[in-house]
Amino acid sequence: MSENKTHKIHFLPHDIYVDIEEGNTVLDAAHSANIYINSICGGDGICGKCKVVLSKGKVDAPPTTLISSEESENDYILACEAKIIEDLQILVPKETRLEGKKILLDQHEQHSLTWAAVLDKSHFTHNPLTKKLFLTMEAPTMDDNIADHERLCQAIMMDQGVELNVIQTDISILKKLPGIMRQGNWSVTVTVAHRGPVLEVVEIETGDTTQNNYGIAIDIGTTTVVTCLMELTSSKVIDSEAVYNSQMKFGEDYIQRIIYAIQNDFLNEMQKTIVSDINKTIHTLVKRHEIDLNNITSVVCAGNTAMIHFLLCLDPENIRKEPYIPTANFVSPFRATQIGIDINPRCILYALPSVSAYVGADITSGAAAIRLDKEELNCLFIDIGTNGEIVLGNKDWMVCCSASAGPAFEGSGVRHGMRAAKGAVEIIHITRDYEVSYSTIGNVKPKGICGSGLLDCIAEMLRCGIVDRSGNFQQDIKSERLRKKGDEYEFVLIEKEKSGIETDIVITQADISNLVRSKGAIYAALSILIESMGLSINDVSLLYLAGGFGNYLNVRNAITIGMLPDMPTSRIKFVGNTSLIGAKMALISKEAFETVHNIASQMTYFDLMGNPKYMEAFMSANFLPHTNLSEFPSVVEELSS
């Protein structure tokens, strides 16, 4: 193997040099130089926010519509798409830098990896669930007179190395077979879909249309629905779109929604609501990228058990009643139109499998995304969404539990909480004199605070003594930011004139209590889970933290407030929305899809509610960082310094 060349990249106006291997992107170089470059999409070449000026050198970059011709003449490039092939000088323009007060990424602030890096690390091979195959066959003769369908099946068999008897074709396809095969002069593109042991021929077209093959990965969260459009030929993420889950009007958490659906005989409407959200996101994406709906051949859905039940219109009633039984954890693939998704009528929908009523496809998908199934040593995987689900295990075993953490870190039940979207404060620093610096997603005026910002906020307020260890405001601090409004104290984070909304952005005493309870539930759950397996936190080699925080998460702050156990931050990885990542992987890799299923089959559900120690552990965790400080030696040291 030839050694990879390295090149020197000079960033201006920072005047920082960094050496980086050929083939990395300019965005990668900026990250390794600790230079913040705006990129909402996480480096997928979608948002167009990472524009930089190439002042010296050449890069290898694909054409993009995100750079105007005027910008192009002025040497603008997208940092995330520009591959390094020689030494460069890069000017990071003002609009691409962090706005407001400048915040340098500290060593604990982890950026979730780019899609390309995550996919590469997963070692899943590219083998989409639905594929387009361009097949060229011999024309029939008197000596080679097998039927059209068998000619096609043999070509598929040769191309895919499958047994002939696993190939199935609906008669609607057979009807057009002779015409298409002859029109195409025996060269056709067939779309095949893996459906359990079957390889189904779902479409046939003349000519080579293999490039027109797209898929949709969806994470159906209780609070948000995130839809991602992918190019199946290349594993490339084209774009994604998120909306709030419109079911919220029927209840903030899914238990409320189940009760609502059952009491009002409203299950069909609940389904229509969620399907309508999905349709909206898909239509936005295909319109924006001028993609024909007929070229979308597969949809993979992850989400918690209740959301998957609502999506499929399956009876969710027994999910909330002891002994908490889902209708189905494993669902066979079916046509997406069967549940009202407005798409190519032959498109297949794959719902990822759940483990139990309270550990859903979001977790199995996430565990596959981080390849927990390949870990030699014990790992913890924590996904903080509307609930907190925790998996402990390695390649040989996995146990999981669900903590009723509530949606505080998703911004719900917090006055100015919001999801990690444009305008959300995602990083907050507070100085000893109570001055607040921050950055927002999209570098626009702040509209609210997302999970990572809330987490920073609590940690910083604890460090500065704005709150005490029980989470109460220290009313005697010398700052006008702390004020009493009505009966309640609140701390002004961003003044009205700097905010993108009509008011000051504050954090209230009730917000803090909510957040403390939420982090306490998570910590209590992971402690009990570890203890139940006869292990201690020292036996955990890696902790993966997932969830809809911002693009960054300060893992040190998560320890400081006692959400995560006191372990070296180098052993904690912030992994973003793993539910969606797993769905994206399953879409483009049958191996990943099967891994999710294997994980779902092997994972053991551990019921916290049935554990008498849980409530005690929860009460002890309702402090900052914890009642028992011996569990957080580094925090004791930090706070006393």
Mark the segment that binds a second copy (CB under 8 A) among 331-339, 409-417, 434-442, 464-472.
331-339
Q: Residues 105-131, buried b or exposed e (16+ Cβ, 10 A)?
A: beebbbbbbbbbebbeebebeeebbbb
d(CA 369, CA 365): 6
Q: Compute CA distances 542 → 116, 119, 565, 632, whole Å.
A: 22, 19, 11, 17
d(CA 548, CA 543): 17
Tell me: does residue 356 bind a second copy (CB under 8 A): yes
Question: Closest distance between a second copy and the C-beta of residue 306, in Å?
Answer: 13
Q: Are 118 and 217 in contact (CB under 8 A)?
A: no
Question: Closest distance between a second copy and the C-beta of residue 338, in Å?
Answer: 7
Tell me: does residue 396 bind a second copy (CB under 8 A): no
Question: Closest distance between a second copy and the C-beta of residue 261, in Å?
Answer: 13
Mark the segment that binds a second copy (CB under 8 A) among 100-108, 126-134, 165-173, 272-280.
165-173
Tell me: does residue 135 bind a second copy (CB under 8 A): no
Question: Closest distance between a second copy and the C-beta of residue 25, in Å?
Answer: 40
Tell me: does residue 126 bind a second copy (CB under 8 A): no
Strand partners, 88: 9
The token duo for 467 is 């709150």
Tell me: does residue 377 bind a second copy (CB under 8 A): no
> Which of 34, 38, 78 has its CA nearest to residue 60?
78
The token duo for 301 is 């859905």
Where on the phi/psi map is residue 66: left (φ > 0), alpha (ψ -120 to 50), or beta?
Answer: alpha
Helix and strand tally (H, E) in the chain?
Answer: 16, 31
Question: Closest distance between a second copy and the C-beta of residue 254, in Å?
Answer: 16
| β strands within 385-458, DSSP E | 388-393, 398-403, 424-430, 436-440, 448-449
d(CA 327, CA 318): 8
The token duo for 220 is 């159906």
Mark the segment that binds a second copy (CB under 8 A) among 59-67, 125-133, 194-202, 422-430.
194-202
Using CB under 8 A, pick the residue from 117, 146, 377, 615 that binds a second copy: 146
Tell me: does residue 95 bind a second copy (CB under 8 A): no
Tell me: does residue 148 bind a second copy (CB under 8 A): yes
At 182 the three-state DSSP class reads helix
CB-nearer residue toward a second copy: 4 or 601? 601
Residues that contact a second copy, how many (by CB under 8 A)? 51
d(CA 430, CA 453): 11
Question: Closest distance between a second copy and the C-beta of residue 391, in Å?
Answer: 18
Tell me: does residue 330 bind a second copy (CB under 8 A): yes
Tell me: does residue 263 bind a second copy (CB under 8 A): no
Mark the segment that binds a second copy (CB under 8 A) among 10-18, 105-113, 190-198, 384-392.
190-198
Using CB under 8 A, pick the residue from 165, 185, 276, 431 that binds a second copy: 165
Helices (H), 403-508: 451-463
Tell me: does residue 612 bind a second copy (CB under 8 A): no
Using CB under 8 A, pick the residue from 150, 396, 488, 616 that binds a second copy: 150
Tell me: does residue 178 bind a second copy (CB under 8 A): yes
Site string for a second copy, 588-607 (x = CB under 8 A): -----------------x-x
Mark the segment that binds a second copy (CB under 8 A) among 206-214, 334-342, 500-508, 559-567.
334-342
d(CA 231, CA 296): 9
At 471 the three-state DSSP class reads coil
Tell me: does residue 339 bind a second copy (CB under 8 A): yes
Residues that bind a second copy (CB under 8 A): 140-142, 145-150, 153, 165-166, 168-171, 174-175, 177-179, 195-198, 312-315, 317-318, 322-332, 334, 338-339, 354, 356-357, 605, 607, 610
